[in-house]
Chains A and B, each alone.
Chain A
Amino acid sequence: GAVVSQHPSRVICKSGTSVKIECRSLDFQATTMFWYRQFPKKSLMLMATSNEGSKATYEQGVEKDKFLINHASLTLSTLTVTSAHPEDSSFYICSAREAGAGQETQYFGPGTRLLVL
C-alpha cells in the first residue's frame, strides 16, 4: 500500500518555541492532506485539510495562526506549531489522499509525539 511518512516521530521542546512537523507521501501524489491530533484516551480529531497550492481549511476551534499548515508540493505538507505551550503536547498524525481516490484511501502517517515542557 501507499506510504506516508512523518518527521520527526518524537519531539520535545521548550515552551514558546515553534515546532515543524513534516508529512510526506512517498509513492503517490497527494492533492489533499489532513492533519489530526489525538489526546490521550481521546479520538483522532481533524484539525485541518490542506490542498496543494491553496490555503488550508481549519476545523472549528483550531487556531490557524497557531497551527500553520503549508502544502507546497504534491508530496509534502508541513504543520508548524507556533509558540508551543504545554497544552499543545499531543500526538499529531497526518494522512494523505491521492487525487481521485475514494474516501477509504486516506493513508496515514505514523504520527509525531510532541511534548512541550
Chain B
Amino acid sequence: DQQVKQNSPSLSVQEGRISILNCDYTNSMFDYFLWYKKYPAEGPTFLISISSIKDKNEDGRFTVFLNKSAKHLSLHIVPSQPGDSAVYFCAGTQGGSEKLVFGKGTKLTVNP
C-alpha cells in the first residue's frame, strides 16, 4: 500500500514559468509533510515542509500548499529556473515520528 503517491513521474516547464508538483497521501495520521530535492549522484536535500495545522508555507520561490480534506499537497516553484531541474520527493510523517514515508518522486526539467 503506497501511502504517499506522486503520480506524475516527470514534468517539463519553461524557465520563468510556474512548476507545480503534486503529491497525494492516504494515511490520515500524517501531520507533517516535507519536500526533498535530489540531483543525480547526490542524496536528497530538504527543501520545504508544512505542518498539518497550516495550509500554506512559503519560502522564497517555493510554496507548499496542503489540502487536508483532499489529502493532497503541492509544491509550487515560481519562477522556475534551470537549476531547479531535479527529482522532487514528497514525504509524510506522523506525530513526531522519525520515520519518513516517501513518494516515488517527480523529475522536473526546466528548459531555458
Residues of B within 8 A of A9 (CB): 41
Tell whether, in the assembled complex, residue A43 and residue B4 are in contact, meaning their CB atoms are under 8 Å apart. yes
Chain A nearest CB: distance from B24 CB in Å?
13
| Chain A residues bordering chain B, tally (CB within 8 A) | 26
Q: Look across to chain A and name the residue whose beta carbon is closest to the beta carbon of B35.
A: A104
Q: Which of B1-57 contact A (CB under 8 A)?
A: 2, 4, 9, 32, 34, 36, 41-46, 49
| Chain B residues bordering chain A, tally (CB within 8 A) | 24
Of B4, B9, B46, B102, which is within 8 A of A105 by CB? Answer: B46
Chain B nearest CB: distance from A45 CB in Å?
8
- Alpha-carbon gap, A65 to B32, bound state (A): 32
Instruction: Flag B45-87 by CB within 8 Å of A: 1 or 0 each.
Output: 1100100000000000000000000000000000000000000
Which A positions have Cβ atoms within 8 angstroms of B?
A: 1, 4, 6, 9, 32, 34, 36, 41-46, 49, 93, 95, 97, 103-111
Which B positions have Cβ atoms within 8 angstroms of A?
A: 2, 4, 9, 32, 34, 36, 41-46, 49, 89, 93, 96, 98-105
Q: List 8 A-B contacts (CB under 8 A).
A: A42-B104, A43-B101, A44-B44, A46-B99, A49-B99, A104-B49, A110-B42, A111-B43
Given contacts A44-B89, A103-B32, A110-B43, 13 further A-B contacts (CB under 8 A): A4-B43, A41-B9, A43-B2, A43-B4, A43-B105, A44-B100, A46-B101, A93-B43, A93-B44, A103-B49, A104-B46, A104-B49, A110-B42
